[in-house]
A and B are shown apart, each in its own frame.
Chain A
Amino acid sequence: MPRLSGTRRRFMNLINAEKIDFAHGGQRVLHGVDLTLDPAEIVTIVGPNGSGKSTLLRLLIGALKPQKGRVTRKPGLRIGYVPQKLHIDPTLPITVARFLNLPHRVSRQDAQEALETAGVPGVSDRQMSQLSGGQFQRVLLARAILGKPDVLMLDEATQGLDQPGSASFYRQIESVRRDLGCAVLMVSHELHVVMSASDRVVCLNGHVCCEGTPEVVSVAPAYRELFGTGTGGALALYRHEHDHGHDHDHHHHHHEAAE
């Protein structure tokens, strides 16, 4: 029976990573990482800088090959990827409208709708280089959703946005998920925003420290060791402290100290 349910589960998964090891330049970045992604769920990977979050995402999209273990994607899986940042060489002129047509042509109307969904209507004739940081990320999001993805992957997509900006960006993600019914896998260090919006949180630091609903993860010892309680305003911790009201340890590291 466990065997049967195992195969069935794998069949249902959009992406399945098993026991991944990855080293870069002799440095072990990830070891023994398991991760699965089911349709329509929002999963967030949190972890300090250098914990291998972006590497894991790039392994999942196939940009990197694991040295051990394997990544299986559902055949024909459509991935909408929003990279951490995208540098466009200044010698390459490209309008937003043209960018949205990569790699596949889309109709002008679809492009308009995607820009509206992403919260940046009316920028389609602008040069990509003229956009502000927030607009740029939203155009990346619009391009990602134009491919009607089964899964949307965001790598620190709100880096460089201010707090209200990133909060509204994540609200946009939630509404995109509602509209498209796609799964969302995101990487973030912004615990306070991300935790509240996730179905499942994976806490990563070279390996999976702990995993579960935001409520479960936020009280897990491994998570607290990584992020401590110094993350002022982190919603999940806030919630936890009110739920239980017995946090006695004041010596946790601020998460930046754990880098």
Chain B
Amino acid sequence: MLDDFLVRAALAGVGTAVGAGLLGCFVVWRRMAYFGDATAHAAVLGVALALGFGTSITLGVVIVALAMAVLIHGLTGQGAAIDTMLGVLSHGALALGLVAVTMIPGQRVDLDAYLFGDVLSVSRGDLLIIWGGSAVVAAVLWWQWSAMLTTTLSPDLAYAAGINPRHAQLILTLLLAGVVAVAIKVVGALLITALLIIPAATARGFAQTPERMALLSVGVGVFAALGGLRFALVFDTPVGPSMICMAAALFGIGTIGGKLRR
């Protein structure tokens, strides 16, 4: 069954949607969209470095995305205007990655696969990384859910309950790096943030509790992944962007539907 590249692509899409859908809720609640961008763009630099040093792409992406996540975490502790700093880091890392790739001697590297995803070439090893990564994200969120939710509502409430909100923030940034590593093969560095935000935002209008929003978000993500894949096959469009288009369409329908219902 796994010999079929379409099956592998579908499994990759679904696996990514699970991790991104769950974590995406926190990204939306805590307004971390910019963090997602910065971490994802750093991944391009990670790809360049991995190619340069001849190591595994995933390893390079994880290391650079983690480094960016920790750097951002440190900066947010300073309480400075973080928006501009994130903009600089995010686009600086992206540009540096694009430049660095051209300087790798010997080979011309096609970066498109990492910028926009290449889900149809997903291997068994990639699937292992995707499902393993998503499982880790889901497990950590399950384990830390209450503390994270309390922190998200109010850091002071967390402190009063003996929870350190900085820990929750650090865990979220680290998980973000994990999701980036998982999703880069599927939708590419440029569209990872979309996969985090759009399903969660779509689920918002139909959920009464945070937990239901998270589950719904996963559902929307899975539907968008499979729908996008099908769309791409029928109309011969790139798969990653098609998945995001599908998610955005669902968001549009959900928003309009919600308005009409009221």
B residues 188-209 in Cβ contact with A at 8 Å: 200-201, 204, 207-209
| 18 new A-B contacts at CB < 8 Å, known A92-B29, A103-B146 | A61-B159, A63-B155, A63-B156, A63-B160, A83-B156, A89-B29, A89-B152, A93-B204, A93-B209, A93-B210, A98-B209, A98-B211, A102-B146, A102-B150, A103-B149, A103-B150, A103-B161, A153-B160
CA distance A103 to B144 in the complex (A): 10
A residues 70-105 in Cβ contact with B at 8 Å: 79-81, 83, 86, 88-89, 91-95, 98-99, 102-104
Residue-by-residue, is B123-157 near A (CB-CB < 8 Å gives 1, otherwise 0)? Answer: 00000000000000000000000110110111111
- Within the complex, the shortest CB–CB distance from B193 to chain A, in Å, comes to 15
Residue of B nearest to A79 (CB): B160
Q: Is the interface of B mostly helix, strand, loop or mixed?
A: helix
Residues of B contacting A91 in the complex (Cβ-Cβ under 8 angstroms): 28-29, 200-201, 204
Residues of A contacting B161 in the complex (Cβ-Cβ under 8 angstroms): 79, 81, 103, 147
Residue of B nearest to A77 (CB): B162
Interface centre among B29, B156, B158, B204 (most CB of A within 10 A): B156
Residue-by-residue, is B242-262 near A (CB-CB < 8 Å gives 1, otherwise 0)? Answer: 000000000000000000000
Say yes or no: is A62 at the interface (Cβ < 8 Å to chain B): yes
Residues of B contacting A104 in the complex (Cβ-Cβ under 8 angstroms): 146
- Within the complex, the shortest CB–CB distance from A80 to chain B, in Å, comes to 7
One of B30, B160, B201, B210 near A94 (C-beta < 8 A): B210
- Within the complex, the shortest CB–CB distance from B135 to chain A, in Å, comes to 24
Residues of B contacting A58 in the complex (Cβ-Cβ under 8 angstroms): 156, 159
Give 12 pairs: A residue, B residue, CB < 8 Å, sorted on A: A61-B159, A62-B160, A63-B155, A63-B159, A81-B159, A83-B154, A89-B31, A91-B28, A103-B146, A103-B147, A103-B149, A127-B208
Task: Say whether B156 contacts A98, CB under 8 Å.
Answer: no
Say yes or no: is B224 at the interface (Cβ < 8 Å to chain A): no
Q: Is the interface of A mostly helix, strand, loop or mixed?
A: loop
Residue of B nearest to A104 (CB): B146
Task: Say whether B156 contacts A61, CB under 8 Å.
Answer: yes
Residues of A contacting B156 in the complex (Cβ-Cβ under 8 angstroms): 58, 61, 63, 81, 83
B residues 16-38 in Cβ contact with A at 8 Å: 28-31
Residues of B contacting A93 in the complex (Cβ-Cβ under 8 angstroms): 204, 207-210, 212-213
One of B146, B160, B204 near A80 (C-beta < 8 A): B160
Residue of B nearest to A155 (CB): B156
Residues of B contacting A61 in the complex (Cβ-Cβ under 8 angstroms): 156, 159-160
Residue of B nearest to A151 (CB): B160
One of B30, B160, B207, B211 near A81 (C-beta < 8 A): B160
Residues of B contacting A86 in the complex (Cβ-Cβ under 8 angstroms): 153-154, 157
Say yes or no: is B215 at the interface (Cβ < 8 Å to chain A): no
The contact size tier of chain A is 20 to 34
Residue-by-residue, is B43-85 near A (CB-CB < 8 Å gives 1, otherwise 0)? Answer: 0000000000000000000000000000000000000000000
One of B158, B160, B210 near A98 (C-beta < 8 A): B210
Say yes or no: is B163 at the interface (Cβ < 8 Å to chain A): yes
- Within the complex, the shortest CB–CB distance from B152 to chain A, in Å, comes to 7
Residue of A nearest to B147 (CB): A103
Residues of B contacting A79 in the complex (Cβ-Cβ under 8 angstroms): 160-161
One of B146, B152, B157, B158 near A92 (C-beta < 8 A): B152
Residue of B nearest to A140 (CB): B157
One of A62, A89, A95, A153 near B208 (C-beta < 8 A): A95
Interface centre among B29, B160, B204, B213 (most CB of A within 10 A): B160
Task: Say whether B153 contacts A102, CB under 8 Å.
Answer: yes
CA distance A92 to B163 in the complex (A): 20
Residue of B nearest to A24 (CB): B79
Residue of A nearest to B164 (CB): A62
CA distance A99 to B210 in the complex (A): 10
Residues of A contacting B160 in the complex (Cβ-Cβ under 8 angstroms): 61-63, 79-81, 153
CA distance A96 to B94 in the complex (A): 43
